[in-house]
Amino acid sequence: MTDQSSNQMWGGRFAAGPDAIMEAINASIGFDQRMAAQDIAGSRAHAAMLAATGVISDSDAEVIREGLLTVLSEIQNGEFQFSTALEDIHMNVEARLKEIIGEPAGRLHTGRSRNDQVATDFKLWVRDQLDAAENGLLALIRALLAQAEAGADWVMPGFTHLQTAQPVTWGHHMMAYVEMFGRDLSRVRDARARMNESPLGAAALAGTSFPIDRHMTAEALGFDRPAANSLDAVSDRDFALEFLSVASICAVHLSRFAEELVIWSSAQFRFVTLSDRFSTGSSIMPQKKNPDAAELIRAKVGRIFGANTALMMVMKGLPLAYSKDMQEDKEQVFDAADNWMLALAAMEGMVKDMTANRDSLAAAAGSGFSTATDLADWLVRVLGLPFRDAHHVTGSLVAMAEKKGCDLPDLTLDDMQSVHAEITNDVYSVLGVENSVNSRQSYGGTAPDQVRAQVERWKAMV
Ligand code: ARG
């Protein structure tokens, strides 16, 4: 006689129910209930296929379909009683289905296992998140394009080592992020295409002796094809790992941009003003306007990459096929997905609302001897100096200007000629910041024409 508390799904083999601690460590319903819609979609596709292949009757399939719809609406309306004793979303749904429709519910699990079921549900969930990430990235890229278009010719300092290097344009800087988020977008699309194979029907690990049609369920669930090896199908979590690594790289990009916004919005830089809508105040210092959203976006990468590392470690030693370790995949992915989507939306909002302070950008663009390279290039182009010599002459002129406390264009021609006798008045034409950016017409360079060409190229794609 089976113990009353024994599991209703496998109680036949068990004389006693689980210890409370066992139930606590075993259950995933606390988090995997987020896959309820995917679980029910998978079950509906499976039931329809079982009927089409004659494994169950059409009338049973119809009753199952109706019952699953009732379960779904109970879950969506918050009326569903989730039970830890029923461990996970798959068994919670099936048990409730049995309460509603009775015996036919027991036929639903023919030719499948929770192993292919969970892989299917989780893939569908991750696929939805990749679609959401695609939309979030597109929106962010469009916001950056609007900034780039407005400021295609606004000069600002370009930095290396966060030291003034050469003048660039605001549009050029924005477009650098368009390229980065554009690569993220392409990684999202690649990941989606690669993961879109259906595990359903792989059953526990070996396939099934029932005459199921895996192509039919794959198609019903929007997969491109069934996964070709049943062992792999139930033990593959590459799609989750790839989701997390794509998210991690994108989070690195978001974090780098966030860092720039934190620096740029400081009183020392004043390159941008963030909107009130995306800033916070201080409870003690009335003058403060803090870039909290940017700081939190900067921090999210820790969490997202942490999830990536965690799941890599969960998976790394697992023999084929399913092991319960794999239940630890979901919380990492759920948390990373939530925070990735939030970070994308917050960044889009900040970019849309922020104002570039054109005057501060221009003033900074001219400081720090930012046109020293233009001077060296002039010595090469006009006087025919080898670049290394031109570099040396320019270095002496920079040292002279630094000593005098002025910028390069403020040196007199006499000053210049004291370092190199052949320098002429023409040199001043290259020392201006506008001239500097306009001259960088090489493909992908910072010249406003080049920036506008890149904006147009992207606008045609997004
Ligand atoms: N809750 C489980 C998970 O998330 C479902 C699969 C359970 N399969 C099994 N053979 N115990 O991985």
Residue 254: is its pLDDT beyond 90?
yes
Residue 120 Cα to ligand 1 middle (Å): 12
Active site residue 59: no
Triad 370, 372, 376: Cα angle to 5°: 155
Count CB neighbours of 256 within 10 A.
Answer: 15
Closest CA to 47 of 100, 98, 105: 105
- The model carries a pTM of 0.94
Q: How far apart are the first and last CA of the chain?
A: 65
Sequence-distant (6+) residues with CB within 8 A of 344 are 133, 136, 137, 139, 140, 250, 254
Segment 273-296, tens digit of pLDDT: 999 999 888 888 888 889 999 999
Q: Which two tokens stand for residue 280?
A: 């916070």
Choose the residue to mutate in 23, 26, 88, 332 for probing ligand 1, maximizing ligand atoms within 8 Å of C-beta. Answer: 88
What is the rounded distance in angstroms from the CA atom of residue 321 to the CA atom of residue 363? Answer: 63
What is the rounded distance in angstroms from the CA atom of residue 197 to the CA atom of residue 119? Answer: 11
What is the rounded distance in angstroms from the CA atom of residue 447 to the CA atom of residue 207? Answer: 60
Choose the residue to mutate in 115, 122, 330, 334 for probing ligand 1, maximizing ligand atoms within 8 Å of C-beta. Answer: 115
* Residue 89: its H or E element: helix 89-101
Mean pLDDT for 425-450 is: 95
Q: Which pLDDT score, from 0 to 100, does residue 5 have? A: 59
Residue 7: is its pLDDT beyond 90?
no
What is the rounded distance in angstroms from the CA atom of residue 146 to the CA atom of residue 303? Answer: 30
What is the rounded distance in angstroms from the CA atom of residue 118 to the CA atom of residue 291? Answer: 41
Segment 337-348, tens digit of pLDDT: 999 999 999 999
Residue 10: is its pLDDT beyond 90?
no
Please identify which of the residues 57, 59, 186, 282 carries the catalytic annotation: 282
Active site residue 392: no
Sequence-distant (6+) residues with CB within 8 A of 415 are 397, 400, 404
What is the rounded distance in angstroms from the CA atom of residue 271 to the CA atom of residue 182? Answer: 24
Helices within 162-280 (DSSP H only): 170-195, 214-220, 230-235, 238-264
Q: Which two tokens stand for residue 142?
A: 């469009």
Q: Which pLDDT score, from 0 to 100, does residue 99 have? A: 98
Segment 33-45, tens digit of pLDDT: 999 999 999 999 9
